[in-house]
Amino acid sequence: MNLRDIHTPVLLERCVELLAPALKADGAVLVDATLGMGGHSEALLERFPNIRLVGLDRDTDALRIAGERLARFKDRITLVHTVYDEIGLHAQGASGILFDLGVSSLQLDEAERGFAYSKDAPLDMRMDQTKGITAAEVIATYSEGNLRRIFERYGEEKLAGRYARFIIEARQKKPIARSGELVDILIAATPAAAQRAGHPAKRVFQALRIEVNAELNVLADAIPAAMDALAVGGRIVVMSYQSLEDRLVKQAFAAGAASTAPKGLPVELPEHAPKFKIITRGAELADDDERARNPRAIPVRLRAAEKVRENA
């Protein structure tokens, strides 16, 4: 398997450009919080021969594949099987931290993982297949109200209530164990006019994946922990793929870049100065060339910040 043929890292050159000022010193440490198949890390290890990499991933398959890809750097890398909300344990004093959020190419491309609504497979969706509840178990055990809640909250799905009701009715007849079965139910539940607006399963599958992997709860803890762990002068780059992720990142960066001085204070004391400087203007998007070359770049929103003051 040639990883370069199946995995094109999103916004690679921009990530390198943003992280470069923090990675030039000898002994700089880069933490790739979402290692995946190692595409971004490989490029950064090649271009900055003096850095060390700490690569985190909850997916054991991803760690194995990345380990093979990065084997020639074995003296400069440490790979860790963990969820990225544990980043504080692995990133203290880091020079650069990279998050490439959402579902990975590996998970999408391996049909048996159940992430893709376009491929019939067991409804699993666990990023870490060694533990946790599957999407099939969510579909089988959640109440109608809870299904509606996750479809609304994590999928921003307007037909959440209708989909939840159809799922409850269908599972009373027989278990829903495969992605193809769930897709058929969702299509049957979707009015023709709504089907023209996009695939009925897209938002429901996103919501199930987020629920199964507790993605937003994990992210809400991980970004502030990563920001605290960075060394002064260190940089954090985060790529999000849907609005819920991006909103959490935007809020965390804004909090870090805000003064904590009480309103009306005539002079800002040093301890109230912002700890971060935001170095991107809003959320950056992939350009037309990259979107055409790599369709997975289409929804990306990139934000970056630099630590300018030590933690209080």
Quote the CA–CA distance of 146 and 152 in Å, as a whole number. 10
215-240 burial code (b ≥16 CB/10 A, e <16): bbebbbbbbbbbbebbbeebbbbbbb
Q: Which residues are annotated as a binding site for S-adenosyl-L-methionine?
A: 38-40, 57, 84, 100, 107
Q: Which residues are annotated as a binding site?
A: 38-40, 57, 84, 100, 107
Quote the CA–CA distance of 98 and 26 in Å, as a whole number. 19
Quote the CA–CA distance of 167 and 218 in Å, as a whole number. 27
Contacts of 87 (CB under 8 A, 6+ apart): 31, 33, 56, 97, 222, 225, 226, 229
Quote the CA–CA distance of 238 and 10 in Å, as a whole number. 11
Spatial CA neighbour of 21 closest among 232, 310, 197, 188? 232
Can you read off the two tokens belonging to residue 41?
Answer: 């890390």
**Residue count of the chain:** 312
| Residue 174 exposed, middle or buried by CB count within 10 Å (0-12, 13-18, 19+) | exposed
